[in-house]
Each structure stands twice: as C-alpha cells, then as structure tokens.
Structure 1
Amino acid sequence: MKSIRFERDGKVGNIVLANPPYNRLDARFAECLRQAVHEASESDIRVLVVRAEGPNFSLGGEVGVQAI
C-alpha cells in the first residue's frame, strides 16, 4: 500500500498522507509524494487539498537528497 495517494472527486483533488499515526517522512514517503503530485498535475482538477489520515498531519524525518 502506498503511504500517499491521489484521489479526486470531480474537479477537487486530494493528496492523502496515508501512513498513520505519524505520516513520518522517509525516502518511500517522498517518492510516493512525487508520484501523487505528478498524478495531480496530469489531471484536470481545479483545487488540490492535502490531508492526512490519523491524528497527526505529518511528523518530520530525514529525507536524503538525490542528485538528478
């Protein structure tokens, strides 16, 4: 299961942080976020909401930077 997903309801898109209870940032989380943002950018939505499952929006973490 992805730790982040893109959903849509008509013209409203949602990026859902779906790794409760902390939605902790890590490399997998960052890759899933990149994919969800890409899906959103390819759609015809007019509004994008970022929300989280669980009691916390997101807890910090270390995300390594990769050269492109």
Structure 2
Amino acid sequence: MPHLTCSIDDGIATLVLSHPPQNRVHAQMATELALALETTCRSRARAVLVRAGSPDFSFGGGIVDRGRTRTSPNRRPPQTPPRPRPGSRASPDAEAPAPNTGAR
C-alpha cells in the first residue's frame, strides 16, 4: 500500500503523505518520496505542495526502521570531539607556520 500520492495539476505538484497516524518517514515512504520528486522534476510543475492526508503533517523519521532503538528519551548518542586540523596549533604534532616573506 503506498504511503504517498503525487498529482500534478496546473503546474503544481501535490504530494500527500498518507501513513497515519503520524506520517513517520520510513524506508518505503522515503523511496516513494524520491520517485515522486523525480517525476515532478521531469514534469512541467513549477511548484510543489507537500501536505498530510491526516491531521498530523509528519513526526519525522521512524528510528526503528533505521535499526536504532532508544532506551531513554533523554539519551543522546555519544559525541566525538572534533579532530584538530593538521598544522593547527591545537595539534600536538603541528609544525611551526612558515614565515610570511611576501615573496611569491
């Protein structure tokens, strides 16, 4: 059963999300959305209207479909600190910058 419908009328493409109750974007809907946008790009549509077929527009992606589960609503994935760029002063093995002599 499709979770998205696409129609094009008078230059307006209308995409309707229809995966109630929350219209979560999962793998099937993402594929259908990509196909609908490809169809829209090949058409003479000059605008795209995305709406819901139910009271809720969309609650976002379905995390279960992505192979992740949450144990706590306040739990966040671990953050990796950014690595210093090679040659930056924050890098312990950084070389001293070459002096600017103005020569080219």
Q: Same fold (TM over 0.5)?
A: yes
> Relative contact order (alpha carbons < 8 A, sep ≥ 6): 1 or 2 greater?
1
Identity of aligned residues (%): 34
| Runs of 4+ with >4 A deviation | none
Q: Larger Cα Rg: Structure 1 or Structure 2?
A: 2
SS in 1 for 2:36: helix
Q: Which runs of 5+ in 2 are unaligned?
A: 67-104
Count of matched residue pairs: 64
Paired position in structure 2 for 1:7: 7
Match of 1:38 in 2: 38
- Name the residue aligned to 2:23: 23
Bigger strand share: 1
Give the TM-score, by structure 2 length.
Answer: 0.56
RMSD: 1.4
TM-score by length of 1: 0.81
After superposition, what is the alpha-carbon deviation per residue over 1:33-61, rounded to whole angstroms, capped at 9, x for unaligned?
11111111111011111111101001122
Q: Which structure features the higher share of helix residues?
A: 1
